[in-house]
Amino acid sequence: MPPQDDLYQVLGESLPKIEERSVVVVTSKVVAIHQGRCVPLSTGIEREELAKKEADWYVDKDIVPGQFIMFTRKHNILIASGGIDKSNAKEHMILWPKGPMTAAKEIYEWIKARDKVKELGVIMTDSHVVMMRRGTQGIAIGHWGFNPVRDYRGRPDIFGRKLVVQTANVADSLATAAVLEMGEGQEQTPLAIITGIKEIEFSEDPKTIEGKPTFSIPLAEDLFEPMLAAVPWQKGQGGLTDEEVEEMKKG
């Protein structure tokens, strides 16, 4: 519960022994609570003001249909309101975890040490919306222990034609399945275990393509760059420091 709980106590009490070639999925909210990244509503600060501090880039909500969320980019991910959430937050606003990749690695190392597994994956999730689709679905904001992209380039299709650009997004696909099962309301299921995944490549050494990470795409190379570049982005603060969060808690 906000404002701070011990994540590893929860994992120790809730996670069964993890088998080889499993992926453990953890919602980002419980990681953020563990880190104490919760701001009481009693401070009076508006979510939009916080979002401008948390986001790398933002668009004011007055140009968003319905004007009920801000359109933001954080860690090269499109996410509403800088990832700040009021749901299931007990009179708090919960920020995104600090250093989601590092946090995923720490969870990975804790499980690996406890259960003595060699091949393990960890995904930290949040919910987001996809253009032209109604409803939220899961997205991986942090991961560790496996290659997040399956590369089909150079492989033949069923008729022998060599694939040129095809890659599969493993991390977000698994996150979506897990978040569907974990739920968005009163399910109280912040953890999931995925097993039986075909062709997943477990590795602590992230794959690169021509020296660049395979997962996150720079805006200049993104298929949606013409649309995203046309958005009137404003520069955000890029994230609250731990000290700033603690000052807000004091009111």
User: Contact, 244 vs 68, CB < 8 A?
Assistant: no
How many Cβ atoms sit within 10 Å of the Cβ of residue 146? 24
Convert the pLDDT of each residue in 77-128 to its tens digit: 999 999 999 988 889 999 999 999 999 999 999 999 999 999 999 999 999 9
Is the omega angle on the peptide bond into residue 190 within 30 degrees of 0, that is, cis?
no
Calpha distance 34→125 (Å, rounded): 15
Residue 216 has pLDDT above 90, yes or no: no
Q: Rounded mean pLDDT of 192-210?
A: 84
Q: What are the percentages of helix, strand and coil residues in the chain, rounded to 5?
A: 30, 25, 45
pLDDT on residue 208 = 60
DSSP codes joined into one string, 96-156: PPSSHHHHHHHHHHHHHHHHT-SSEEEEEEEEEE-TT--SEEEEEEEEESB-SEEE-TT-B
pTM of the entire predicted model: 0.93
- Is the model's pLDDT at 55 over the cut of 90? yes
Using the predicted structure, report yes or no on whether residue 218 has a pLDDT greater than 90.
Answer: no
Highest mean pLDDT among 85-94, 125-134, 173-182: 173-182
Q: Is pLDDT larger for residue 65 or for residue 161?
A: 161
Q: Where are the domain boundaries for CATH 3.30.1330.100 in the chain?
A: 1-35+97-216
Residue 168: its H or E element: strand 167-169
Contact 58, 72 (CB under 8 A): yes
Cβ neighbors of 21 (< 8 A, separation 6 or more) are 119, 120, 195, 197, 200, 202
Homologous superfamily (CATH) of 1-35+97-216 is CofE-like (3.30.1330.100)
- For 79, phi then psi, to 5°, come to -150, 145
**What mean pLDDT is predicted for residues 169-196?**
95
